[in-house]
Amino acid sequence: MMNRNILMLFMGAASQLLPVFVLADTEDKSIPAQEQVIQPQLERRDVKVPHINADDIEVGFYTGILSMENFSAESVNGVRLAYHVTEDFFIEGAYARSTISDEFFRSRAFPITGFDKQDEDLTYYNLSLGFNVLPGEIFIGRRWAMASAFYIIGGIGTTTFANENFATFNFGGGYRILLTDWLAMHIDMRDYVFDSDLLGQNKRTNNFEATVGITVFF
């Protein structure tokens, strides 16, 4: 008798729950999945930003003006070779040629300067360490953007003129603009400091240089 009562109770509960399951199943099938009404129309474009890869080699030439203290300001031409150790640091070697004149002293019968002739050839070479301090971009109009970087640089080398070699320390800064991902333009200013006794007494001289140059990466 007890088993019969339990069976009747179970069947009564099942009869109450069955319509709920049927209704839930019907509602799930009748409600469509929510769809996005507005489809955004976006035009995608490929953006290629030129950059300097780490461990790149950079080689090129430069030209400008070298102003020697106590002497004239003359044109200077040189070549540079740089190795980019990281994206921030690079090592650079440079070699350049110029001329200097003691015409000012000769025309005024000043003490001899040590020059064998009025114009003397000058050469220098150096090895320097550079650091990119402000990498960024330069914009030309609305459509052109080129990667660029300000850098500071300093190093040691030798300056040779009037049959003498002068140990030289150089420091300065520059601005590098990447025209493409392999071609760059440099605007550079440096001070070459060395001790000279050509005018009769030993004196530390500051010799300023301003140049522009073109380099390639490979």
The dihedral over CA atoms of 186, 171, 96, 188, expressed in degrees to the nearest 10, equals 20
Q: Per-residue pLDDT tens for 8-60?
A: 655 555 555 445 444 445 544 554 555 656 666 666 666 555 555 544 899 99
Q: Per-residue pLDDT tens for 83-118?
A: 999 989 999 999 999 998 877 666 555 555 556 667
Q: Per-residue pLDDT tens for 159-199?
A: 998 889 999 999 999 999 999 889 999 999 999 999 988 77
Q: What is the SS3 assignment for 31?
A: coil
Q: List the alpha helices (DSSP H) in the chain.
A: 2-30, 103-107
User: What pLDDT is recorded for position 160?
Assistant: 95
What angle is formed at CA 161 by the lines to CA 68 and CA 60, rounded to 5 degrees? 75
Mean pLDDT of 125-144: 89
pTM: 0.71
User: What pLDDT is recorded for position 187?
Assistant: 97
